[in-house]
């Protein structure tokens, strides 16, 4: 069950931020699909452009619940390799504001639907290409996934090592989500703001690996300015001090401690009965002893007992939740972050709601369509094709 928003939360009847913006999203998974998801949550009309059924194997088909089930999106199926299919896509593109694609560099040019082709029919288009390493450069054609971009961006090397000095596998797709998807959304929104002033669209070359560099900017800039090479345990945020670490509790569960500020650290020492360490927060020689004492104290009580005492007391202590735990957290429930969705064949299930600032966070229920449904006919007619022309495209297997 989800709880209503707090009574003190301001109410607004303002239209969705991206109402009136149309996005053609040619992706099925990955960073581009995340970008499409976010734009839809901000109110854009997002149209998923998928292959016709006979070519569907060229795209990964995510499960019905992935990417929030593509809620609030429309769908068109077009054979982009066919001349008539390319023409149909360009007819849609002529009326769109944004195009997102995630093919390997060069593919959209071969298909005849690249930025130049679209700009010829729509000079105001914002065309966003997402790829692992960018559209140019020696690595442009390399295949990769989240772990590869985190690896080349220094993220894995600066993270705490597993036994055997093994770089860790991250618990979330940080590169795909932040390095790629959010980078794409920021670029698109900036380009739309620019277009509102100039009337000119833009081409965006979103390189996911370069988005990871932005996430690692503190460490990269430090190295470039000082020559000091970062790594695990180098800095307060990467495990140098006991005040920023995780500790196991009596029930085998964990707490996270982020007491960076001196006053928060002193509060923590006092409540743990470790006042002897209050003046040694950044004393490198004392860190092993501090960690040992902290670990021994945390091991005397359950995680939730510690969190109940420490979290409200300005200590920067929180529970290390499992996913199953976090979706039942009372604070998140009070914020209304979990919504209910209904799928015609999968039934009713819960999913993450519209939680990003500026989206309609009051929504608690969504309908999720099966991917067998398309809006092809309505969208093509709205783009200027007559009914007979659309019927001919169906007859030729160009659209579905």
- Given the residues 97, 114, 176, 293, select the one marked as catalytic: 176
* 145 in catalytic set: yes
Look up residue 154 and give its two tokens: 């220094």
**3-state DSSP call for residue 269?**
helix
Number of H helices, E strands in the chain: 17, 12
- Given the residues 145, 279, 305, 370, select the one marked as catalytic: 145
Look up residue 225 and give its two tokens: 């300015």
Q: What are the start-end ranges of the H helices in the chain?
A: 30-41, 83-93, 107-111, 115-121, 146-152, 155-158, 174, 183-198, 208-215, 217-226, 262-272, 287-298, 303-310, 323-326, 330-335, 376-382, 387-395
- Taking CA atoms, 203 is separated from 138, 186, 321, in Å, by 21, 13, 40
Closest by CA to 247, choosing from 270, 273, 272, is 272
Q: How far is CA 61 from the centre of its chain?
A: 18
* 176 in catalytic set: yes
Closest by CA to 380, choosing from 72, 124, 89, is 89
Among all residues, which ones are annotated catalytic? 145, 176
């Amino acid at each position: 069950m989800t709880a209503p928003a707090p009574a003190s939360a301001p109410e607004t009847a303002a239209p969705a931020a991206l109402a009136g913006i149309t996005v053609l999203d040619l992706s099925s998974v990955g960073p581009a699909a995340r970008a499409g998801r976010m734009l839809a949550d901000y109110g854009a009309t997002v149209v998923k452009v998928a292959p016709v059924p006979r070519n569907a194997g060229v795209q990964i088909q995510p499960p019905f619940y992935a990417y929030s089930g593509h809620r609030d999106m429309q769908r068109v199926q077009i054979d982009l390799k066919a001349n008539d299919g390319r023409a149909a896509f360009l007819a849609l593109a002529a009326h769109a504001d944004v195009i997102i694609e995630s093919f390997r560099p060069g593919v959209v040019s071969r298909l005849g639907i690249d930025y130049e082709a679209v700009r010829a029919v729509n000079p105001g288009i914002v065309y966003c290409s997402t790829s692992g390493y960018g559209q140019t450069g020696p690595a442009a054609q390399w295949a990769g996934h989240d772990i590869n971009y985190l690896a080349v961006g220094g993220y894995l090397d600066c993270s705490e090592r597993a036994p055997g000095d093994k770089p860790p596998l991250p618990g979330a797709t940080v590169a795909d989500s932040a390095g790629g998807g959010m980078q794409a959304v920021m670029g698109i929104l900036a380009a739309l703001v620019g277009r509102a002033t100039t009337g000119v669209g833009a081409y965006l070359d979103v390189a996911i690996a370069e988005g990871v560099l932005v996430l690692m900017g503190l460490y990269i800039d430090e190295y470039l300015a000082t020559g000091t090479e970062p790594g695990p345990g180098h800095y307060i945020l990467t495990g140098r001090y006991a005040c920023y670490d995780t500790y196991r509790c009596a029930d085998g569960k964990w707490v996270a401690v982020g007491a960076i500020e001196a006053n928060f650290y002193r509060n923590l020492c006092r409540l743990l009965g470790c006042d002897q360490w209050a003046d040694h927060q950044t004393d490198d020689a004392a860190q092993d002893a501090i960690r040992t004492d902290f670990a021994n104290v945390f091991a005397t009580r359950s995680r939730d007992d510690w969190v109940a005492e420490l979290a409200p007391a300005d200590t920067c202590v929180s529970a290390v939740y499992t996913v199953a735990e976090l979706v039942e957290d009372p604070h998140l429930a009070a914020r209304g972050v979990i919504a209910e969705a209904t799928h015609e064949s999968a039934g009713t299930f819960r999913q993450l709601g519209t939680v990003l600032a500026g989206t309609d966070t009051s929504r608690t229920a969504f309908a999720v369509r099966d991917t067998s449904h398309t809006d092809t006919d309505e969208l093509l007619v709205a783009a200027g094709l007559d009914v007979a022309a659309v019927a001919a495209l169906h007859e030729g297997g160009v659209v579905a």
